[in-house]
């Protein structure tokens, strides 16, 4: 078992645009991490990645990577491949950081949660906003009853994501890199989990479920795709498992390089929590007058994902808190999967099957 004084031996499955932009550079910068193996398709590209970041081993076969002496893996492949590869890693006894959406299927997502628990391994889904200091403050305040029982929540996200759905496939300038570009097959193909819900709403939903600790039990949804084969707009309402109501929406059509909009309002029996990433606001307003306004440094509301891979290593070494565990990722998957089902049925209310009981999930996979 890795201790706080030894290096964490890491493999990376899927060294595409986001892994080479964020995850691998963050891990390579840590002296307590050894980058053992990297898996990607294309020998030339693989060689460049291996050389730049100093991986000891490189392969196009993820099963060969998993045979290396590892403590942990990063799974950053196209969405529809996450489950198979994360399952294999957990069964090898490895800690797993799995990109979002962690899977496209709720039963598979909860199966990963159960595997991680059974093997006493960390499973982290890298939702960057969950790691902002003011979000941690908000979570602590909610846990202490700042708004009382959650009765209603509004969760909206918009971003310049239309560029990812364009045939020319552009990315925001701060996330360009010379090693790899985004793969259109990941973001623009329905069967692979393309579109705005899987690409972006997963972030805001992951924040909502992290803060409330709740899950959805049913949902009614409409999706808009005026210019693409995949969804660009999402509008849904749902019921929480405590009986409260929720509204979640998404839009891909912000102007290039505009600030991301994430607007979260959680109404409870004692007050309301307001978080606005674009305007960098976090406030609690209580009926008893005990209000709280957080001071947020300029720029801190912007999306960043440096913290999750760093925290992943800390967790393996016995330090820190997982702000985006598999349970949060699975709650997000089950909501978004049901949103798609409802949208195909013209907004019909769709119940969400509960796979959080390992016996239920086992039954599902035994069929």
150-158 β-sheet, strand order: 292-293, 281-286, 271-276, 261-268, 150-158, 245-251, 233-240, 216-224, 350-351
Amino acid 106: pLDDT = 98
- Average pLDDT of the segment spanning 49-71: 97
State residue 185's pLDDT score: 83
Q: Is-contact 317 186, C-beta < 8 A?
A: no
CATH number listed for the domain at residues 8-128+359-366: 3.40.50.720
pTM of the model: 0.95
Eight-state DSSP code of residue 230: S
What superfamily would CATH give domain 129-304+326-353? Dihydrodipicolinate Reductase; domain 2 (3.30.360.10)
% of the chain residues with pLDDT over 70: 96
Residues paired with 289 in a beta bridge: none
- Asked if 217 and 243 touch (Cβ cutoff 8 Å), the reply is no
Domain 8-128+359-366 and domain 129-304+326-353 have a common topology: no
- Average pLDDT of the chain, as a whole number: 94
pLDDT tops 80 at residue 176? no
Residue 228 phi, psi (nearest 5): -135, 175
> Residue 46: which of 26, 62, 30 has the closest Cα?
62
Q: 233, 159, 224, 216: which is closest to 332 by C-alpha?
A: 216
DSSP, res 80: G
pLDDT at 2 over 60: no
Assign 325 to helix, strand or coil: strand
Instruction: Give strand ranges (E) for the chain.
Output: 8-13, 33-39, 57-59, 72-75, 95-98, 123-124, 150-158, 216-224, 233-240, 245-251, 261-268, 271-276, 281-286, 292-293, 350-351
**How much is the average pLDDT of 126-145?**
98
Show the CA angle centred on residue 263, arms to residues 256 and 173, nearest 5°: 25
- pLDDT number for residue 270: 98
In 3D, which of 107, 102, 79 has the Cα closest to residue 189?
Answer: 79
**CA distance linking residue 98 with residue 79, whole number of Å:** 10
- At residue 193's C-alpha, the angle toward residues 355 and 261, to 5°, is 95
pLDDT digits (tens, 9 = 90+) for 307-363: 999 999 999 999 999 999 999 999 999 999 999 999 999 999 999 999 999 999 988
Q: Using the 8-state DSSP alphabet, how is residue 258 labeled?
A: P
Model pLDDT for residues 243-296, shown as the tens digit of each residue:
999 999 999 999 888 899 999 999 999 999 999 999 999 999 999 999 999 999
All structural domains of the chain with their residue ranges: 8-128+359-366, 129-304+326-353
Distances (CA, A) of 158 to 52, 225, 232, 262, 314: 34, 15, 10, 7, 31
pLDDT surpasses 60 at 1: no
Using alpha carbons, list the distances in angstroms from residue 212 to 129, 229, 244, 267. Answer: 15, 33, 11, 11
pLDDT bin (cut points 50, 70, 90) of residue 29 is: very high
Contact at 8 Å (CB) between 113 and 231?
no
Contact yes or no for 70/317 (Cβ under 8 A): no
Helix (H) / strand (E) element for 328: namely helix 326-344
pLDDT of residue 3: 46
């Amino acid at each position: 078992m890795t201790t706080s004084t030894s290096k964490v031996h890491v493999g990376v499955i899927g060294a595409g645009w986001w892994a080479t932009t964020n995850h691998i550079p963050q891990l390579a910068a840590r002296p307590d991490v050894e980058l053992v193996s990297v898996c990607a398709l294309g020998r030339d590209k693989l060689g460049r990645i291996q050389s730049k970041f100093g991986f000891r081993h490189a392969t196009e076969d993820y099963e060969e990577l998993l045979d290396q002496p590892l403590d942990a893996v990063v799974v950053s492949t196209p969405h529809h491949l996450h489950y198979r590869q994360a399952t294999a890693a957990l069964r090898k006894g490895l800690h797993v950081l799995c990109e979002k959406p962690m899977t496209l299927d709720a039963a598979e997502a909860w199966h990963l949660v159960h595997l991680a628990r059974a093997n006493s391994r960390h499973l982290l889904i890298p939702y960057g906003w969950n790691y902002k200091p003011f979000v941690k403050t908000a979570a602590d305040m909610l846990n202490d009853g700042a708004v009382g029982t959650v009765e209603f929540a509004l969760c909206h996200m918009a971003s310049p994501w239309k560029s990812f759905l364009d045939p020319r496939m552009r990315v925001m300038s701060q996330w360009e890199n010379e090693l790899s570009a985004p793969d259109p097959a990941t973001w623009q193909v329905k069967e692979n989990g393309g579109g705005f819900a899987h690409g972006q709403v997963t972030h805001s939903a992951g924040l909502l479920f992290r803060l409330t600790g709740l899950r959805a039990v049913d949902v009614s949804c409409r999706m808009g795709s005026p210019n693409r084969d995949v969804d660009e707009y999402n509008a849904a309402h749902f019921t929480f498992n405590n009986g409260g109501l929720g509204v979640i929406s998404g839009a891909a059509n912000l102007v290039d390089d505009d600030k991301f909009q994430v607007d979260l309002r959680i109404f409870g029996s004692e007050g309301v929590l307001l978080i606005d990433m674009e305007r960098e606001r976090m406030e609690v307003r209580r009926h008893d007058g005990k209000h709280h306004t957080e001071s947020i440094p300029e720029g801190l509301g912007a999306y960043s994902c440096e913290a999750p891979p760093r925290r992943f290593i800390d967790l393996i070494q016995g330090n820190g808190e997982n702000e985006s565990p598999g349970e949060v990722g699975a709650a997000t998957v089950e909501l978004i999967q049901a949103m798609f089902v409802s949208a195909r049925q013209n907004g019909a209310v769709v119940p969400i099957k509960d796979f959080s009981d390992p016996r239920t999930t086992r039954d599902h996979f035994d069929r």
